[in-house]
Chain A
């Protein structure tokens, strides 16, 4: 097991993400939607940074348990949590936020879930970590950190609020 990012590096990655999103928005309103779980905490921290910079931002959270493509392979279905998007999705420019992008299947599910709330005018993707090995043609526009990993590696992201600490660890199988 190796620590790929320590708390300082995590903080820096979050800053980087916030910067990228802020400049791309060019003064327009920013609608962040974090993907549970952990994508929501990343989105929250990015949201705070954006508000500090004076951006006009809104924050929502999406649970994608009902949109996965792998129920057949699970011995029990995932525990649901609530989604909450208080602003109208129709016509909005949404930035989906997740902690890690890997195969891309989670993002596909998130897009399906998001589109059941309404029809956004544009959707961008922001991820704290991009670890490669895509199986679906999805690419993030905003990336905090790129990581070299093997397909069979496990990447564990810990976040302060949910896990009590900030870290990204790679566990080689």
Chain B
């Protein structure tokens, strides 16, 4: 029985995750054909409900849906930070009337996609909610890492930066953990909560732990109401990948990942983007294939009338 919704990684078991990653491979193969489309979702409607602005994730989903021959509509929703419950409720009623098959939701509030999923028969995909989850990002991160390290169990990945406010940190750490990867967090003391993962507040200590990959998170100014660290300059010096640190990383063949967009000079110096083991562009590419696998794997519940 297929799921209706794709809301987080926590609710998936290892077998389901591996199945999704495997399913993404044939979708990636399609990219080499001249006709990149397949008719699998022909006649289906995919609605984008992006309450938070995003160019990359939105266009990645758009391309994924269109390559499955679905009809894509970008729903014009207010981006203001004071979007209250009334407008989300009204939107849901409109969506029900439109009989959307799939709804891709990004929202500033944790739990909002789940709330929408409960109130509609369409398949809801979480494109990022508050600091809670970003499951498709986690999938493409795992897929990308698996391409360079086919045997994941026993590998080590350190996720660096603003863990506290990061849905990417939560979802990606969860998926890697479920796949047998050892995960550690590293960052300023004020931004790394105590969790079941190893915790570092010192860059060098984290690196001497011996990671196979360093995953740098985007510093999120818009999610912090009061400063958690003194300045971007200090952040880069203490936790960023500086030119000097890039040398050590390159010597050891450690992979570098980042969910994008990069704050140049804060998380990474420019030279990282030219490093041959920087996986950022593969992550972007793999985003489309993994999102196609997610869309193809869900089943909306359109037989019954909405409750």
Contacts and interface: CB of A to CB of B under 8 A. Distances in A.
A75 B1 CA distance: 5
Interface string B5-28: 000000000000001001101110
A77 B296 contact: yes
B23 A80 contact: yes
What interface size band does chain B fall in? 20 to 34
Contacts of A81: 26
Interface stretch (B36-44, B157-165, B200-208): B36-44
A14 to B, nearest CB: 28
B2 A75 contact: yes
B27 A112 contact: no
A118 B34 CA distance: 8
A77 B293 CA distance: 11
A66 interface: yes
A83 B40 CA distance: 15
Contacts, number: 49
Interface residues of A, number: 19
Contacts of A66: 26, 38-40, 68, 296
Contacts of A116: 33, 35, 37-38
A113 B35 CA distance: 10
Nearest to A80: B26
A117 B39 contact: no
Chain A binding surface SS class:
loop
A77 B297 CA distance: 6
B120 to A, nearest CB: 19
A76 B299 CA distance: 7
Interface of B: 1-2, 19, 22-23, 25-27, 29, 33-35, 37-40, 68, 293, 296-297, 299
26 contacts: A63-B26, A66-B296, A67-B38, A67-B40, A71-B40, A75-B1, A75-B2, A76-B297, A76-B299, A77-B2, A77-B40, A77-B296, A77-B297, A79-B19, A79-B22, A79-B23, A80-B27, A80-B293, A82-B29, A83-B26, A113-B38, A116-B35, A116-B37, A116-B38, A117-B33, A117-B35
Top 10 nearest A-B pairs by Cβ distance?
A76-B2, A66-B38, A116-B35, A80-B26, A66-B40, A82-B26, A80-B23, A75-B1, A82-B29, A77-B296
